[in-house]
Structure 1
Amino acid sequence: MYRYNSRSRIFSSGRISDKFESALTSIKRTVENETEDYILNVNETEYVNHLTEQYSMGVPEIMFEDVYADSYEEDIPSEYFPMSFHVYEGKKYKKEVIQFIIPVEGDADLLSNCPASSISLGGGGNFHIKGNTIVAEFINFHNDPKKIKQDFDSEVRGVHRNYETLSNDIISFNNSLASNTKSFLTQRKQKLLAKNDLMSSLGVPLKKKSNISETFSVPQPRFKEKLSIKPSVLEKGFNPEPTLDDNNYRHILKLINDVGKNFERMPSVYKGKEEEDLRDHILMTLDPNFELGSASGETFNKSGKTDIQLRYDSSVIFIAECKFWSGEKGYLKTISQLLNYLTWRDTKASVVMFVRQKDFTSILEKVGNSTKEHENYLGFIDKSDENWYNYRFHINGDKNRELKLAIQLYHLPK
C-alpha cells in the first residue's frame, strides 16, 4: 500500500460525533441570536424544518460497483521497497503505482471522520480522499496483479466495516435533528414568554402582572363523559390569542369520526339527508359531550348552513365545514371557504366530506393528491384512520399563523 498523509485518509481525522456537536452548537446559537419578535411569531414547524434542512448531513454514497483502475510512474523513496530489493537509503527509484479509484456521491469529506462508536481512529481502509473519489494506491514491485487485487479487496473490506457504522451515525443524527432543534426553540420561547408573562401559548393558567396586558387561553374543557428557506415574519410584537388544547381537538375529531362511521353503518337512516341535516346530527353529538370550564365561553353552535363552530368570546377557535363531495375543485374551494373564517394563530379545523360516489377509495386517493395543491398548504401530519387525514395549513396571508386541518370523509348512500 502506498501510504499518504493520514489527514487525507478516510476514517482518520477526528470523530463524526464532534461534527454533530458543532452543528448542534451552531443551531442553538442561531436560535439564541434571533430577535424576540421573530421567535414569538415564526411558524415553529417551518422554522424547525428550515434549520433541520440546513444542518442535516447527507450520507456520502461510495459507489463500490463503479471502481476503476489507473496507473502512473512515481519516484518512490527507498524505505518503501521490500528487503529483497537492493536500494540505497535516502534514494528514490521510479516505479509504477496502481490506483483503484471509487467515485463518491455527496460530501466525500465526511468520510474523513471516524465513526462515533469506533474504538480508535482509522481502523480499516487506507483509502485517501481525492476530490469526489476515494483512492487506494499500490506500488507495483513484483508485477503480480493477483497480489495487488487481493490487497485491494482487503482494504475494501476495512472500508465497508467503518462506512456502515459512519452511515448509521449520520442517519441517527439526522433523525434526531428536528427534535433537538425544536427543543432549542422551545427553551428560547419559554424564556421570552416567561419574561413577558405571556403563558397562554403554553396552555397553562395565566399569572397576571399589573403592568402586563391580559393573556388567556381556552380553559381546559371538562367532558361530561370521561373519555404539539427561513420563514419570514410579518408581525411586530406578540399578541396573546386563545387556543384549543391539542388533546381536546383530537377528542372533538374522534366524536365527529364516530358519528360519521355511524352514518356508514346505518345507511337507511341517513339516506337522502342533506348537508344541513347531517351537520345537525354531528352537532347534537358534540354539544352534550363538551363544555368549556368558563362561564364566559360559548359551546358549539351553527353558523351558516353547513359549518359548526366553537367560539371563545368573539373568536372562532374551532370550525368544521360539512360538504358533499363534488370533485377536487369543489373540495379545494371548501378549504378556502373555511380559511376565510379564521384569523387566529393555532386555530383547529375540520372539513367533513360526505361522499355519495360508489368508488370511495378513489375519492380518498384524490384527497391525498389534491390537498397539497392548495396555496395555503404547509404539510401532511399523519392519518388517524383510513378516511381521516391531518394536515398543516396557514391562514390567508401569513405562513406563521398555522392551523391544524383534519379532512374526514364518510361514504353515504344516495
Structure 2
Amino acid sequence: MHKTYDSRSEFFEDRIRQMAQEIARLSKSEVLNINEDEYIDYLENKFSLTPIKVYRDMEEIREPRKIQREMQCDPYTAAMYGYRQNSRVVYEGYEIKVSYPFEGDAVLFFVRPNTFTIGGASAKQIHVDESTGRLILTYECWDNDSEQFNRDKVNAFNNEIGPLLTINPEVERFNSNLRSRASAEFQKRKNQCLSENAFFRAINVSPNDVPYKVPVPTVKKKQVPHPGVKRQEYKPYPSMDDRMYVDILQTLYRAGQAMERKPSTYINKDEEALRDLFIFRLEDRYDSATVTGETFNFGGKTDICLKDSATNANLFIAECKIWHGPKAFGEAIDQLFDRYLTVRDSKVTLMFFVAGNEFNSVLETIKQEAPKHKYFASYKGKREQSSFSYMFHLPTDLEQKVFLEIMAFHFPKA
C-alpha cells in the first residue's frame, strides 16, 4: 500500500530522501570502490518516475450490485408517502464500479494535487489496482436515473482524476534533475569517507581502503504488458488485455515517429517493406504471442496479425496503406471489415503512409471521413497527434463492436 502525500513538494522531497538513505547504507569501502557512473545510472533508473496516463476511452462498467440503506423518514417524505413520522425507511439502489486502464507509476495517484475542485459529483471510492493496471471508481446510484449517473460519472472523473494527472509536468522536471541530485548526494557521501580516511592517516591509523571491485545493483526492468489473454468461462475465445492493446498502439506509433525522423528507413520502400519494419518492432516483445505478416484470415491476407501462442487465436490485426485520398480511405476500411475481420476480431489498426506535403490536411480528412463510414459507431478521442481512436461495428452485426485505431505517418518521397 502506498503512502498518501498531502502535497507534491512533500512527495518529491521524500523521493530524494529515500535516494539519500540508499546511498547512506553503502559502507565506506563500497563508496570508495564502486563504479561511480554506473551507480549514478542505477540511482537514476530506480528513483525516476513514469508519468501516469488514464485511458478514459477504454472505460469498463461492471455489472451493478444491489445495495440497501435504512434511514429515518423525514417529515416531508412521511407526508408525501403516508409514512409514520420518525419511522425507518429502506431505500434500494446499486453499487456500480467503473474502471479505466492506466500506465505509469501508481504511487503518483496517492499525491494530493496542488489545486482541486470542491463539491460536485464524486465517486464513493477510488481504488488503484496495480495487478491489473486499472483505476476503479465506485459509485452509488439510488434513483435509477441513467442520464444523471452518466453526468455524475463524467463530472467525478473530471473533478477527481483530472487534477491527479496534472502532476505529470512536475514528474518530467523531477526526472530531468534527478541525475544531478543523485551525483551530488553520492559525492557528499564520498567526501565524508575521504575526509574520514584523511583523519585516520593523520593520527597514524591505517584506513581499510584496499581497492576491490564492488558490483553495482540492478534495477528490475519495467515489465512490458503480458499478453494477458482473458480466458473467462463464459468467453472461451481469447481476447487481448487492454494494457497490451495500448502497448501495441504505442509501439507502432513510436516506430512510425522514429521512421519519420530517418528518411533512409522509408525512402523507395513500398507497403510491404514498410510493414516489415513495424513487424520487426513487435516481434519478440510479447512472450505468449506471435507476430506474422501476410496472414490468411477470413477472406484475405492481413498485413500484420498478432496471435495467442497457446491457441493460435487472433489478438490483433493491422493493415498498412499508402495514402491515396478520401475515396481510397473509405475503401481501405471496407477491405478491412468486409474481407479480413470475423466475429472474434475486436482490436484492429489502419496505418496510412502519407507521401505528399499536405500531412495536416490528411489528418483533417481522416477526422471528417471516418464518421461518415457505414460501419462507424463512435469516436473515442485522439490518442496521439496523428492517431485517432474509434469504435466501429462488424458488417454482419451492429452490436459486435470493434476498436479501430487509425494512424498516419509522414513519409515524403524527397
Tell me the TM-score normalized by structure 2. Answer: 0.43
Greater radius of gyration (CA): 1
Higher strand share: 2
TM-score normalised by structure 1 residue count: 0.43
